[in-house]
Amino acid sequence: MYRSIILLLLLNATVLYSQSGWIQQETGTQYRLRHVFFINENTGWAAGDSGTIIRTVNGGADWDQQISNTTKHLQIIAFTDSLNGTAIGTYYEYNPWCFNFIVSLITSDGGNTWIIAQQGYSAILMDFTYSENVFFASFEGTDCWQTIGAVTKSTDSGLNWTSVNQGFGGYAYKSAHFINTQTGWALGYKATDFGLRVYHLIKTTTGGADWDYIRQDTGYNYLSYWGSKMRFLNGNTGYLMGSNYRNLKKTTDGGFTWNHTDSIITNAKSDYTFINPDTGWIIGGASILRTNDGGHNWSSQNSGVPGGLNSIFFVNENVGYIAGNNGLMLKTYTGGLTNLNTAEQFIPPDYTLYQNYPNPFNPSTTISFSLPHASYTKLKVFDAAGREIKELINEYRQRGSYEVKFDGRDFASGVYYYKLEAGEYSDTKRMLLLK
């Protein structure tokens, strides 16, 4: 009876808590987190103010502080694998040449040891991206007019960098993005003798050895097109966070024309990400928005926090993270979707039973699943011998996405299985309890 009451409370708590679709995690820091990066569902890092770097190897159940050997603000952190990565920050300290400064860190042991690879005068880091274990960074402003910059590339996890904007020197670069090691775009500008700025979008299919113009514009009346963080999903479809109130723009012709996705709802946002040409998220303040049709329509997701959302990263269509001010970290197992407010939410296209998280676990773990149709639903847990040890759900459920906690404190360490039956759908997954 006691365990049944506890289970009922856990189920009710899960439903109430899932109204936001995002779960807040404890990071152990109060510093602003500016960037979050994961190499898989379990292993990730976040970086931010005062040299803060934190790491998780269990999907955020625990975050460990790492010693960065710097107190400068870090804007970017990225890894090519579980061991090799970089963290970068640029900052300004007064000098008569208006130069900015950079601190670039590298690690070869997952962040247990960080080494300062570069510190000194630099342009301003504007954007950072990666493809197939190659890092790319774009910079603007090594002078008082902020019109000299570069697109750079690193093939050794941030240890060495080389310029790849051959033939287009003298430009400040707001953003660069590569969909593979050879094909990429760069967005830059330079000042003219008449006080105007010439903006251009260039493309390479040779890893930066050669570039071609996509378009070039002169004059302030084109500024609303250009901005920062350009991301392409394929050779035609890309998105750009514009400089005009940071509204999101979209191209479907490789960057020649750009149109508003939604000029009002995507205003004043801080970051965005897409996992395919149609499905993406954009964040800012306390707002989380999701689109499933390439930005034509957006649905609001409740963050559950008052504001300060800075960086978003999705490992796949379901598992995502958001880093923010005061050490904030949010996680979703279901793309931010819940079974509540379904009129505003994306309806799951298929029956899906997700891998539990965390896994291995001690003592509890979360099991998530999606129902595209209302169905009589059973969710049960079995031991390694196939004996049923816990019935989590046995009732009619509406379509939507659900989370259920399984508490294993009364069971021995070992392999367990959980099985979902809904309508004609059935699936079983394995989980490991380690005490």
CATH, residue 375? 2.60.40.1930
Q: Is residue 271 part of a domain?
A: yes
Average pLDDT value for residue range 142-169: 81
**Is there a contact between 266 and 247 (Cβ–Cβ < 8 Å)?**
yes
pLDDT higher than 70, residue 332: yes
Q: Which domain holds residue 75?
A: 22-337
**How many Cβ atoms sit within 10 Å of the Cβ of residue 162?**
10
Q: Is residue 196 part of a domain?
A: yes
List, in order, residues 6 or more apart from 97 with CB less than 8 Å away.
143, 144
Please state the separation of Cα 234 from the chain's center in Å. Answer: 18
Q: Which of 172, 75, 67 minimizes the C-alpha distance to 114?
A: 67
Of the candidates 306, 337, 368, which is a domain's last residue?
A: 337
How far apart (Å, rounded) are the C-alpha atoms in residues 174 and 38?
24
Give me the helices (H) in 95-226, please: none
Residues 193 and 112 in one domain: yes
pLDDT confidence bin for 167, thresholds 50/70/90: confident
Q: What is the mean pLDDT of the chain?
A: 85
pLDDT confidence bin for 348, thresholds 50/70/90: low
Q: Which of 348, 358, 360 minimizes the C-alpha distance to 401?
A: 348
Number of domains in the chain: 2
Of the candidates 287, 310, 337, which is a domain's last residue?
A: 337
Q: What is the pTM of this model?
A: 0.73
| One-character DSSP codes across 224-252 | GG-EEEEEESSSS-EEEEESSTT-EEEES
pLDDT digits (tens, 9 = 90+) for 88-105: 998 877 777 677 889 999
pLDDT higher than 50, residue 17: no
- Give the tokens for residue 329: 């970290």
Q: Is residue 344 part of a domain?
A: no
**So what's the pLDDT on residue 420?**
96
Sign (positive/negative) of CA torsion 418, 419, 422, 426? positive
Residues 427 and 318 in one domain: no
Decide: helix, strand or coil at residue 287: strand
Residues 245 and 359 in one domain: no
**How many Cβ atoms sit within 10 Å of the Cβ of residue 248?**
25
pLDDT higher than 60, residue 406: yes
Average pLDDT value for residue range 144-172: 82
Q: Is residue 346 part of a domain?
A: no
**So what's the pLDDT on residue 220?**
46
Q: Is residue 11 part of a domain?
A: no
**Residue-wise burial string across 90-107, b where 16 or more C-beta atoms lie within 10 A, e elsewhere:** beeeeeeeebbbbbbbbb
How far apart (Å, rounded) are the C-alpha atoms in residues 294 and 279?
6
